[in-house]
Amino acid sequence: MMTRLSVNVNKVASLRNARGGNNPNLIQVVKDCESYGAEGITVHPRPDERHITLNDVYDISKIVRTNYNIEGYPDNRFLKIIKDIRPEQATLVPDAPDVVTSNRGWKSSDDNALLRNVVSTIHKYGVKVSLFIDPDFKMIECARDCGVDRIELYTGKYAKNYLDNKDTSAFEYIKASEYAISNGLQVNAGHDLDLNNLKFLKDSLSNLFEVSIGHALISDALYYGLEKTIKMYLNELK
């Protein structure tokens, strides 16, 4: 199974915002990512607009040709975005507004009644829902019960463990992936994935549907160029 690569362009927006103006041109970068082979574009429009702005989200929706994935905490602001744009996928994360980056998945102690209502609402818009979780069986069951289409496994722990002990780093992710698939869910993955650890995860999870990668990919592009970098990541996913 060929795993889909979705490029998270938040860091491109961060670079642009550092100086104001429109350099780099985010819309052109999105077009280029797709022309270089990316199968999706991911954005996470946070309330403080530290990188992707609300205007960016709508502007990208007008030109994106591949799979558009919008991440966010499912508050009223996020739901309006999903209703207006109807992207291919909405990824629900448990982040508070002040969190620097998504650093954990939903927990069983979170408001799962809220999740069920949100998932039902988003499905009415014809949008698939992915739930950002740790490799935890209880949360996989929660995802199933909430009616989501996919889970996105938070791979920050995997990336850390890969440096310490590669051979055992993916074990709990393998088990979680198998359990999710047995419960009718597709499996995505994201966070701290890079050219060093991506192939091992892909080879370990035979049914990995999609990875969303931003920080590492954009960092690598500073050295290799964007086109070559995207092709390098795609090669790791074969």
| Mean pLDDT in residue range 205-222 | 97
The model's pLDDT over 84-135, given as tens digits with 9 standing for 90+, comes to 999 999 999 997 666 656 667 898 656 778 899 999 999 999 999 999 999 9
Instruction: Work out the mean pLDDT of the chain and round it to a whole number.
Output: 95
Phi first, then psi: give them for residue 139, nearest 5 degrees.
-75, -30
The Cα 146–Cα 135 span in angstroms is: 17
| Whole-angstrom Cα Rg for the chain | 17
Q: Is 215 a catalytic residue?
A: no
Q: Considering the entire predicted model, what is its pTM?
A: 0.95
Q: Which of 34, 51, 152, 191 is catalytic?
A: 191
Percent of the chain at pLDDT above 90?
90
pLDDT band at 1 (very low <50, low <70, confident <90, very high): confident
Give the pLDDT of residue 98.
61
Number of domains in the chain: 1
Give the structural domain span for 145: 4-236
Percent of the chain at pLDDT above 70?
95
Q: Is 49 a catalytic residue?
A: no
CATH number of the domain to which 58 belongs = 3.20.20.70
What's the token pair of residue 163?
């440096």
Q: Which of 44, 152, 210, 236 is catalytic?
A: 44
Scanning the chain, the segments in alpha helix (DSSP H) are: 10-19, 26-35, 54-63, 76-85, 112-124, 137-146, 156-164, 166-169, 171-182, 198-204, 215-224, 226-236
Q: Which of 34, 51, 71, 236 is catalytic?
A: 71
| Mean pLDDT in residue range 183-203 | 98
Give the pLDDT of residue 137.
95
Do the Cβ atoms of 42 and 9 come closer than 8 Å? yes
Q: Between these two residues, 200 and 100, which has the higher pLDDT value?
A: 200
Name the helix (H) or strand (E) containing 213.
Answer: strand 208-213
Q: Is 191 a catalytic residue?
A: yes
Alpha-carbon distances of 77 from 37, 60, 82, rounded to whole Å: 31, 18, 9
The yes-or-no verdict on residue 236 having pLDDT over 60 is yes
Mention every residue, 6+ apart, whose C-beta is less than 8 A from residue 122: 74, 79, 82, 90, 129
